[in-house]
Structure 1
Amino acid sequence: MSAISNLGELLQRGAAAAPALRAPGRPALTHEGLRALAAGTVAALNAKGIGRGDRVAIVLPNGPEMAAAFLCVAAGASTAPLNPSYKGDEFTFYLDDLKPKAIIVQQADATPARASAEALGIPVLELIPGEAAGSFTLQGGTPGTASKPGMAEADDEALVLHTSGTTARPKIVPLSQRNITASARHIGTALELSESDCCLNIMPLFHIHGLIAAVLSSVAAGGAVCCTGGFDALKFFRLLDEERPTWYTAVPTMHQTILSRADRNAEIIQRAKLRLIRSSSASLPGPVMEAMEATFGCPLVESYGMTEAAHQMASNPLRGKRKPGAVGLPAGPEVRIMSDEGEFLPQGEVGEVVIRGPNVTAGYEANPEANAKAFTNGWFRTGDQGMLDADGYLQLTGRLKELINRGGEKVSPLEVDGVLSAHSAVAQALTFAIPHSKLGEEVGAAVVLREGAELTERELRDFAAKYLADFKVPRKVVFLPEIPKGATGKLMRIGLAEKLGISL
């Protein structure tokens, strides 16, 4: 598989009659059917003047058509998936920034993206679902001639996403065919994926995690992905029972919600017999990893990913030692630790995680200032702080921009999260900075308790004080029924104090 560097080649891997895309209550789309759909889609886009390197925005609900549109459009053009829950102003911003040649929306979907596209003069293509899961036809647009027709090549742009933009204007991250196929290969190797595997996708498909880890890695291995409407805690176990996937991938908040409902679904878990569970996109507390493995009776593989690396950078091994609280061994690109001055640091020393490899973006679009900061001697600076331990496992200590600066003392929110999560009454914990007039920042924590558990702020602070230096113990703990999350299910540290109205 090492020679595969574009979607056209990758789609050839699956056995013709084997299922590629599945969905509850729908006939499966086979690998042969997916190949034919991709060829037909590329030809249809070419006839509308859209070819290699041209961008097509996609605004579709989670499901098999979104997965298929990503795979088939990316086979001959560049995909720009957008969150379907955006408001009109947000669509206008992103479409104006991306300047796509067309936008795909589902027929009869009254999304505000239509008005934004029309105001910007962007043709709207209507996606009409077929009978098999993911099958579709496109209507609309105007006839034209593509300047670069045919299937995409290795260095053509395949996928373009924005960074989350929590502290600044979102940056455009272009990913090439080579980038995304390399990442799919890395994930398949780490998880030992094969044609007998089926991933239950509960991740949003406008996000790198769902697109690459769930969809592309499954198809690349000749296996299948069962596409759901997204994560629904009330439906998850029924889908697990009915669809019988061999694995699923999710963010920690989803795993924690699943774990909280596991006891009442013990019979389904026993029948399901998952081969593995994968976690990525945020740090998974060690106690949650251990509880998930004990509950499901299979390995939970924590991986480390980000958009600029077409998702995966490191992964705990499927076989061998999985370290709770570590994101594993390099699993695709090279991974090193660098000082502020650009020097590599030895094992055991803390610095910035840097990467380079075939899955890493060549740089942000039209942003020389950001690229100058992001790259040092060909290495991409991730913005994450961490160290490589004696065994070569990567331990993250936090996002550099999320570190809490308490009067000159640096506090890693991840370290405090881990301690708070170890309390038997705590289901979820998120440590964040609270602005402070004298110290600059103080340590705060938002906590969700396990069902039926009782715990006071003083009791939790006393527990934390057994394991943390005094300056790291949260000065303020708020108990919430749910911690605020972003669109992809990530917990949001930055600005949380303001969001919750907390001050000291």
Structure 2
Amino acid sequence: MSAEILSAVERFASRGNGPAIGAPGRPDLDYPALAAQIAAGARQLAGLGVAPGDAVAIVLPNGPEMATAFLTVAACATAAPLNPAYTEDEYAFYMEDLDAKLLIVAAGVETPARAAAARLGVRIAELAHDATEPAGAFTLVDAPGAAARRNGPDDVALVLHTSGTTSRPKIVPLTAGNIEASAGHIAAALHLTGEDRCLNIMPLFHIHGLIAAVLSSVSAGAYVCCSPGFNAMRVFAWMHESRPSWYTAVPTMHQAILSRAGRNADVISQTKLRLIRSSSASLPAPVFHELEKTFGCPVIESYGMTEAAHQMASNQLPPGKRKPGSVGAAAGPEVSIMGEDGSLLAQGETGEIVIRGPNVTPGYRNNPKANAENWTNGWFRTGDQGVMDEDGFISINGRLKEIINRGGEKVSPREVDDVLMEHPAVAQAVAFALPHEKLGEEVAAVIVLKEGASAEAKEIREFAAKSLAAFKVPREIIFMDEIPKGATGKLQRIGLADKLGLTKAGAA
């Protein structure tokens, strides 16, 4: 974030005292107070010796202070939000990798991040807030003030690591210009105005919540209510209190919300959502249709990733098109499909999804090998395999690293997921590669059944065989009460066989 977003906050502040940041059970922080909070926090950071380009690790619980701390640090330095659930060794790795100059933690709250910072000699700043004060208001304890310089468009405002599922996590620096562009793309795609109210249930150490919920709202002069973190049993109470016009989440969260929708019909009818947004993982078509039927509003599936400061493509609000099973058309950057030889492919041809535009990171930090592998002729290679239709809408077959190679036959795990999800007893399904002595890999799937439902593996396989070629039908089906998920609620496909202790598939 740079002078542009700060100027927008100040402009909204000059127009009146509309609400900006909120939280369940707390008074709202209005735009004049938000502008003053960012300016005061920036002065305190400057007093602690922090300048543009310096990484500031932030370890705070989900909520309004995390949101305003991010906005403040991103205005004058490099925000580096970290998962509050990390261990001391994980904190030490990430802070050392980022060369963090400062760690912000909640005053009086114990966290392994403190010990990690002490090991590395990283200065600690305690963030204090009063729960009776407006949501997001804070001060840094014993931090003197000094003149602060705002980030320019090319200064790095946010830095995150890739998930590192199959390799060492890569550092993704995002400039102020990158995150401002993406926030603007999201606000434009969703037609956000100052009248909108977002309920954020996404973690704020992840690009989805930071940009799609918080920064897109602030860039439009809208309001965002920051929950303490996703809790399906509390979402409807938060909806009743905050009266949102929209929310954004990952598919597993939408499914959990739907599981409790029947007993919260009154809240749903009173809330009157304008839209529901889904991103960060593919949304199964049955979930798409059930969401629209339950909430009576359009569901907008979008396509995002950290390297793009989140949004790349999106389905459209009416009267525009939205296609279940598609992540939409380009919604900000240019999007194309690239062949293995680096040529751009025609509509209808399958290849790697590539992007370029103002929201795309300038490159991984200190990683020339990854930069050489992931950029071709100015296009960033997403690692996702997909196809673009005649309307420019993109369908994703899956991560290239997730494609299952069964004896030379390539299987898209998402295609298998979609078929399994059509079974009336299936609540969740994730297909994955299981090592096989002769074939190399075999198709396997983990399934969670709907409450009160029953089904046998043979029955599931027979159902899948009606829609899938024989080589795509899962030979191994594992029933579980819950599928392992990452910190942001995304299903973890890569490495799932190891996590489940499955080493070899049965006989083909």
TM-score by structure 2 length? 0.96
Q: Give secondary structure in 1 for the equivalent of 2:26.
A: coil
- Is residue 225 of structure 2 the alignment partner of residue 223 of structure 1? no
Structure 2 distance, partners of 1:145, 1:211, is 27
Aligned to 2:474: 474
Structure 2 distance, partners of 1:291, 1:210, is 23
Please show how residues 422-441 of structure 1 align to structure 2 within 5 Å.
Answer: 422-441=422-441
Mapped contact 2:91–2:112 kept (Cα < 8 A): yes
- One-letter code of the match for 1:426? V
Cα drift, residue 18 of structure 1: 0.4
- One-letter code of the match for 1:56? V
Gapped regions of structure 2 (runs ≥ 5): none
Cα drift, residue 411 of structure 1: 0.5
Aligned to 2:9: 11
What whole-Å deviation, never above 9, does each CA across 1:174-225 have from its counterpart, x for those lacking one? 0000000000000000001110111100000000000000000011110110
Mapped contact 1:384–1:399 kept (Cα < 8 A): yes
What whole-Å deviation, never above 9, does each CA across 1:432-452 have from its counterpart, x for those lacking one? 010101101000011111111
Cα drift, residue 140 of structure 1: 4.5
Aligned to 1:253: 252
Gapped regions of structure 1 (runs ≥ 5): none
Please show how residues 193-232 of structure 1 align to structure 2 within 5 Å.
Answer: 193-232=192-231
Structure 1 distance, partners of 2:87, 2:63, is 21
Please show how residues 328-339 of structure 1 align to structure 2 within 5 Å.
Answer: 328-339=328-339
Mapped contact 2:44–2:145 kept (Cα < 8 A): no
- One-letter code of the match for 2:79? T
Structure 2 distance, partners of 1:10, 1:373, is 37
Please show how residues 23-102 of structure 1 align to structure 2 within 5 Å.
Answer: 23-102=23-102
Mapped contact 1:13–1:220 kept (Cα < 8 A): no
Aligned to 1:126: 126
Aligned to 1:371: 371
Q: Give secondary structure in 2 for the equivalent of 1:445.
A: strand
Mapped contact 1:188–1:218 kept (Cα < 8 A): yes
Structure 2 distance, partners of 1:12, 1:437, is 63
Cα drift, residue 260 of structure 1: 1.3
Aligned to 2:286: 287
- Is residue 417 of structure 2 the alignment partner of residue 420 of structure 1? no
Structure 2 distance, partners of 1:470, 1:75, is 55
Aligned to 1:139: 141
- Is residue 142 of structure 2 the alignment partner of residue 107 of structure 1? no
Q: Give secondary structure in 2 for the equivalent of 1:488.
A: coil
Aligned to 1:483: 483
Mapped contact 1:6–1:152 kept (Cα < 8 A): no
159 and 10 in structure 1: CA distance in 2 versus 1, 3 angstrom threshold: farther
Cα drift, residue 145 of structure 1: 7.9
Mapped contact 2:349–2:387 kept (Cα < 8 A): yes
- Is residue 442 of structure 2 the alignment partner of residue 442 of structure 1? yes
Please show how residues 135-214 of structure 1 align to structure 2 within 5 Å.
Answer: 135-140=137-142, 149-214=148-213
Mapped contact 2:2–2:76 kept (Cα < 8 A): no
What whole-Å deviation, never above 9, does each CA across 1:80-116 have from its counterpart, x for those lacking one? 0000110011001001101111010000110010011
What whole-Å deviation, never above 9, does each CA across 1:476-497 have from its counterpart, x for those lacking one? 1111111000111110001111
Q: Give secondary structure in 1 for the equivalent of 2:286.
A: helix
Structure 2 distance, partners of 1:431, 1:5, is 45
Q: Give secondary structure in 2 for the equivalent of 1:234.
A: coil
351 and 13 in structure 1: CA distance in 2 versus 1, 3 angstrom threshold: farther
- One-letter code of the match for 2:373? K
- One-letter code of the match for 2:153? A
What whole-Å deviation, never above 9, does each CA across 1:267-322 have from its counterpart, x for those lacking one? 21111111110000000001110110001000110000000000000000011221
Mapped contact 1:301–1:315 kept (Cα < 8 A): yes
Mapped contact 1:65–1:133 kept (Cα < 8 A): yes
Structure 2 distance, partners of 1:461, 1:322, is 31
Structure 2 distance, partners of 1:389, 1:498, is 36
Q: Give secondary structure in 1 for the equivalent of 2:128.
A: strand
- One-letter code of the match for 2:114? R
Q: Give secondary structure in 1 for the equivalent of 2:141.
A: strand
Mapped contact 1:187–1:312 kept (Cα < 8 A): yes
What whole-Å deviation, never above 9, does each CA across 1:244-283 have from its counterpart, x for those lacking one? 1111000000001111111121121111111110000000
Cα drift, residue 144 of structure 1: 9.9
Structure 2 distance, partners of 1:170, 1:284, is 26
Q: Give secondary structure in 1 for the equivalent of 2:209.
A: helix
- One-letter code of the match for 1:88? E
- Is residue 385 of structure 2 the alignment partner of residue 385 of structure 1? yes
- Is residue 355 of structure 2 the alignment partner of residue 358 of structure 1? no
Structure 2 distance, partners of 1:355, 1:51, is 31
Please show how residues 293-304 of structure 1 align to structure 2 within 5 Å.
Answer: 293-304=292-303
Please show how residues 401-416 of structure 1 align to structure 2 within 5 Å.
Answer: 401-416=401-416
95 and 4 in structure 1: CA distance in 2 versus 1, 3 angstrom threshold: closer
Structure 2 distance, partners of 1:16, 1:394, is 41
Structure 2 distance, partners of 1:498, 1:4, is 43
Structure 1 distance, partners of 2:152, 2:16, is 23
Cα drift, residue 25 of structure 1: 1.3
Structure 1 distance, partners of 2:44, 2:3, is 23
Structure 2 distance, partners of 1:472, 1:443, is 7
Mapped contact 1:13–1:221 kept (Cα < 8 A): no
Q: Give % identity.
A: 63
Structure 2 distance, partners of 1:471, 1:44, is 61
Cα drift, residue 45 of structure 1: 1.1
Q: Give secondary structure in 2 for the equivalent of 1:12.
A: helix
324 and 221 in structure 1: CA distance in 2 versus 1, 3 angstrom threshold: same
- One-letter code of the match for 1:362? P
How big is the alpha-carbon RMSD for the aligned residues of Structure 1 and Structure 2?
Answer: 1.4
What whole-Å deviation, never above 9, does each CA across 1:322-363 have from its counterpart, x for those lacking one? 111000010000000001110000000000000000000000
Cα drift, residue 4 of structure 1: 8.4
Mapped contact 2:2–2:152 kept (Cα < 8 A): no
Cα drift, residue 6 of structure 1: 3.8
- One-letter code of the match for 2:19? P
Mapped contact 2:3–2:151 kept (Cα < 8 A): no
Aligned to 2:262: 263
Mapped contact 2:2–2:74 kept (Cα < 8 A): no
Structure 2 distance, partners of 1:249, 1:16, is 27
Cα drift, residue 5 of structure 1: 6.9
Mapped contact 1:421–1:428 kept (Cα < 8 A): yes
